[in-house]
Chains A and B, each alone.
Chain A
Amino acid sequence: MGFLMDLRTYILRRLLLMVLVLFGVLVITFLLSHVVPADPIGAILGPQAPIDMVEKIRHEWGFDRPLYEQFVDYVWRVLHGDLGKSIRTNRSVTSDLMNYFPATIELATFSTFLAIVMGIPLGIISAMKKDKIPDHFARVFAISGISIPVYWLELVMLIVFYYQLGLLPGPGRLDPYMAYPPRVTGLLLIDSLLARRLDAFVNGLQHLIIPSFVLGMFGAAGIARMTRSSMLEVLKKEYVRTAKAKGLRERIVVTRHILRNALIPTVTVVGVTYGGLLEGSILTETILAWNGLGQYATGSFLYLDFMAVMGVTLFIAVIYSLMNLFVDILYAYLDPRIRYG
């Protein structure tokens, strides 16, 4: 009971701090985007737009007002839930985010799942067979996961599995000839099930294989290494020896005593990986025609689309902060020695 009371205070405190952090993020992003010597209106309207048109549109958007006035106006709007309008897409930043985020959620979720499925067993094997061949193999796999450029691996997989062998589908979330199910959540797999489109569901899953495998490999590396090192730590502990001495079966020792403790730090890595993937992955999205947050974010940054830049940054900051908070709470739940408040 006491734990729960402390937890509530802790969460409240964290949320308040989060607001401060977000405000700081806003200020920094705003200043940085206005300090850069580039003109978003001129860039977005294109190199051939006449000067008077550029000035006229700049005035229409209010970008010729003094900086502090623009900032105050923006913060006021954010507090009312309005993230402004993107100059590039001419739609509200909120609807843009709602449009692109679901694709990223799907990809991030599957990639993290694969990262866990690949990373944790590798880490365990590495630790249990330390310095033997499986350990070496696992470490090579881990390093490859981090070092091999994501875009290169994706292109290679496209060429080999899509083009040459025809085993996996190509870019995009669905085959070119297949119609999308009606959009309810934006999550393709869920929408297919809701519309009872089994063909789209299966096809969508197939299309997820290449990007989530590659991104998963990248995440698996960190997870494997953390699992390995924390398992090695735990293996040295007294209670493990005690458990073994008690004559418990290897499996019980591993699962109940070792893993449960060793996986705690891994939870942090998984959280960070998932949070990072939720920001979108521009390279993957470009190569595999995935309309996720990465494409939107990068496009906004390159054109200095102020509203979109601030909106995306704020959005990602919120997600990341919430993810961190969640992981910390999970941590406290898993490890009774940790107490907040």
Chain B
Amino acid sequence: MAIGAKDVAIVVLVIILVASWGYFLTIPPPTPVLKPLTDKDTLIVARDISDAVSLDPARAYEFTSCAAVNQLYDKLVDLRPPEYKETEPEIAESWTILPDKVTWEFKIRKGITFPDGTPINAETVKFSFDRFLKLEQMAAWVISQFEIKEIKVVDDYTLQIKLGYVVAPRLFLSCLAFTTGSIVNPKLIKEHEKAGDLASEWMTDHSAGSGPYILEKWDREVEIVFTANEKYWGKAPRIKKVVFKHYAEPTAQMLALKKGDVDIAWDLMSDQIEEVKGELGIKVIRVPSFFKDYLGMNVNATIDGKKTLGDNRVRDAIRYSIDYDAIFHRMKGTAIGLQTVIESGIPGYNPAMPYYRNVEKAKSLLAEAGYPNGFAVELISQPTVWWPDIATIVKSSLADVGITVNLRTVAAAEMYEIYRAQRHQLILAEWGADYSDPDNLAKAFADYTIKQLAYRNTWYDDYASDLTKKAAEELDTAKRLAMYDELTNYVLHNGPYAILYQGVYQYGVRTWVEGFYPDPTFFLMDFSAAYKEAVYG
């Protein structure tokens, strides 16, 4: 067959294509050149803002909404950067607990106002608290859990709050620092009230606070824009405009960060952090979060006619069989060791980590409990992000000691239905502290009467539940911490959990951003201390 012009043309074309592809492969990536700082007054944060529902402090309960609310409002007390460790005065200057032990008296700071000039006093605080108690939304429970009996204005700058029972100081104070406790402007509320909703609809996307920033606008799934409150009673923020820009895809956030189009990338995953780490102009800021991932074991679940997980030896065996190292390896720097229920960063943190992978020990425990040949069990997990990998690691770890795991992957909407109805056997889940106090975690993990995790896993343990209640009421800090020490150790060895790790938040940040201290929760983040300064090298 004669070779025609067409065949030659095709061959030439293919050669050209392959050659250009080869050439393209040899082009080095653009030399990182330190981009000049163009705008010192605007801070752009790339984040997936689609979770925000309302910026009304009485309603805000999602990551983005709470982070936004915290820029716009002040509270009686606050936890501040860089460490976010202790509660500090904000609108309240000082406080005491009265002799009846349930009434708190707050002295309100004098001479401070909202940006429109409306003064802030005890009446204002009472108004704000009454408002969120009346609206009774999800977020309110953080403070209403103390069964507030009365809020009384004693004089212009003195306010008394009477609780339903004795509460440990740090516990109450850290709850007051939650976004629900924000002080709102009564004048604006009354102006925009509609049909008795206490201006809740208007407050969805408007701000009525005294905080360092004012809400300029919220364009759903596009951006949230904050402008500096020039009349702020505290230290005025250096950044004049903060923008939460919506980027749903972490890779897109990373590219924008590398280009210098955004200053902070909030949602980068470990792969992207690996890529930007050490790149000229970018730094990675890590902070241990208040989230932990764990394996839940349903104590009352019937497996083959027996309540297998009801025997603590079986639960211990599971705790001794998990390959924690493999999990850490998979989480690539976004996990730190934790086996007790109170995270590092919260008082009451217990660093004990007695469990490690010991197949022999696990097997002997199982034999002791009457399962020398193991058993079959169902593990429920989600199909997103890292869960499938963790589930696989758990499955193979347990297989080595004779436990056959049937993995069932379900979407979040279905999983929590099953979990709340106590219909699971094993489950992989996550829990984050709502406020910076050990009670939050103790209640969830140890007190079944609260109907959270201990309840979901049918661990009806009265000792743990009573100890939790007592520790919440203990006014002496040292005694209180000792109780949490006892409680955490008890849950560690007897509870229905295998705590896998504590999460770490990692942020990609341009080096010209200073004063940015991310917080371990999602609602204490404070941008007012941040500023931008050109840094060379």
Residues in B neighbouring A38, C-beta threshold 8 A: 411, 413-414, 417
**Contact between A89 and B53 (Cβ–Cβ < 8 Å)?**
yes
Check A39/B417 contact, CB under 8 A, given A49-B138, A163-B255, A163-B258: yes
**Contact between B44 and A176 (Cβ–Cβ < 8 Å)?**
yes
Which listed residue (B245, B252, B416) contacts A158, Cβ 8 A? B252
Q: State in angstroms the CA–CA spacing of A50 and B452 once bound together.
A: 6
Min distance, Cβ A182 to any Cβ of chain B, angstroms: 10
Min distance, Cβ B444 to any Cβ of chain A, angstroms: 8
Which listed residue (A39, A89, A177) contacts B220, Cβ 8 A? A89
Instruction: Give A56's nearest chain B residue, CB to CB.
Output: B136
**Contact between B420 and A48 (Cβ–Cβ < 8 Å)?**
no
Q: State in angstroms the CA–CA spacing of A286 and B48 once bound together.
A: 10
Instruction: Give A89's nearest chain B residue, CB to CB.
Output: B53
Check A171/B252 contact, CB under 8 A, given A50-B452, A53-B141, A176-B243: yes
**Contact between B44 and A302 (Cβ–Cβ < 8 Å)?**
no
The proximity string for A residues 164-192 relative to B, scoring 1 for CB distances below 8 Å and 0 otherwise, is 10100011110111001001000000000
A299 at the interface (CB under 8 A from B): yes
Which listed residue (A53, A88, A90, A291) contacts B221, Cβ 8 A? A291
**Contact between B219 and A180 (Cβ–Cβ < 8 Å)?**
yes
Residues in B neighbouring A91, C-beta threshold 8 A: 204
Q: State in angstroms the CA–CA spacing of A173 and B219 once bound together.
A: 12
A71 at the interface (CB under 8 A from B): no
Q: State in angstroms the CA–CA spacing of A183 and B219 once bound together.
A: 10
Residues in B neighbouring A173, C-beta threshold 8 A: 222
**Contact between A52 and B219 (Cβ–Cβ < 8 Å)?**
no
Tell me how many residues of A have a C-beta within 8 Å of chain B: 52
Tell me how many residues of B have a C-beta within 8 Å of chain A: 53
Check A304/B413 contact, CB under 8 A, given A50-B450, A133-B6, A177-B42: yes
Min distance, Cβ B200 to any Cβ of chain A, angstroms: 9
Instruction: Give B62's nearest chain A residue, CB to CB.
Output: A46
Check A52/B413 contact, CB under 8 A, given A162-B255, A177-B42, A289-B246: no
Q: Which B1-38 residues have a C-beta within 8 angstroms of A?
A: 6, 9, 29-30
Q: Which B240-278 residues have a C-beta within 8 angstroms of A?
A: 243, 245-249, 251-252, 255-256, 258-259, 261-262
**Contact between A287 and B249 (Cβ–Cβ < 8 Å)?**
yes
A194 at the interface (CB under 8 A from B): no
**Contact between B252 and A302 (Cβ–Cβ < 8 Å)?**
no
Q: State in angstroms the CA–CA spacing of A295 and B48 once bound together.
A: 12
**Contact between A47 and B39 (Cβ–Cβ < 8 Å)?**
no
Residues in A neighbouring B413, C-beta threshold 8 A: 38-40, 42-43, 302-304
Q: Which B200-253 residues have a C-beta within 8 angstroms of A?
A: 204, 219-222, 243, 245-249, 251-252
Q: Which A68-117 residues have a C-beta within 8 angstroms of B?
A: 88-91, 99-100
**Contact between B44 and A177 (Cβ–Cβ < 8 Å)?**
yes
**Contact between A299 and B261 (Cβ–Cβ < 8 Å)?**
no
Residues in B neighbouring A40, C-beta threshold 8 A: 413
A334 at the interface (CB under 8 A from B): no
Which listed residue (A39, A162, A172) contacts B416, Cβ 8 A? A39
Which listed residue (B219, B248, B262, B452) contacts A295, Cβ 8 A? B248
Residues in A neighbouring B221, C-beta threshold 8 A: 100, 291, 295
**Contact between A175 and B248 (Cβ–Cβ < 8 Å)?**
no
Q: Which A238-261 residues have a C-beta within 8 angstroms of B?
A: none
Residues in A neighbouring B141, C-beta threshold 8 A: 50, 53
Instruction: Give B429's nearest chain A residue, CB to CB.
Output: A47
**Contact between A47 and B251 (Cβ–Cβ < 8 Å)?**
no
B430 at the interface (CB under 8 A from A): yes
Q: State in angstroms the CA–CA spacing of A304 and B480 once bound together.
A: 43
A148 at the interface (CB under 8 A from B): no
**Contact between B204 and A170 (Cβ–Cβ < 8 Å)?**
no
The proximity string for B residues 36-63 relative to A, scoring 1 for CB distances below 8 Å and 0 otherwise, is 0001001010100010011000010110
A-B residue pairs in contact (CB < 8 Å), sample of 17: A38-B417, A39-B413, A39-B417, A47-B412, A47-B419, A48-B444, A90-B204, A100-B220, A158-B255, A162-B255, A176-B46, A176-B243, A286-B248, A289-B245, A291-B221, A291-B222, A291-B246
Q: What are the nearest 10 A-B pairs in CB distance?
A: A291-B221, A43-B413, A38-B413, A39-B417, A38-B414, A171-B252, A286-B248, A287-B249, A42-B416, A51-B451
B interface residues, Cβ below 8 angstroms from A: 6, 9, 29-30, 39, 42, 44, 46, 50, 53-54, 59, 61-62, 138, 141, 204, 219-222, 243, 245-249, 251-252, 255-256, 258-259, 261-262, 411-414, 416-417, 419-420, 429-432, 434, 444, 450-452, 455
Known: A47-B416, A176-B243, A302-B413. 17 other contacts (CB 8 A): A36-B414, A39-B417, A39-B420, A40-B413, A42-B417, A89-B220, A99-B220, A158-B251, A158-B252, A158-B255, A164-B29, A171-B256, A176-B245, A289-B246, A289-B248, A291-B222, A303-B413
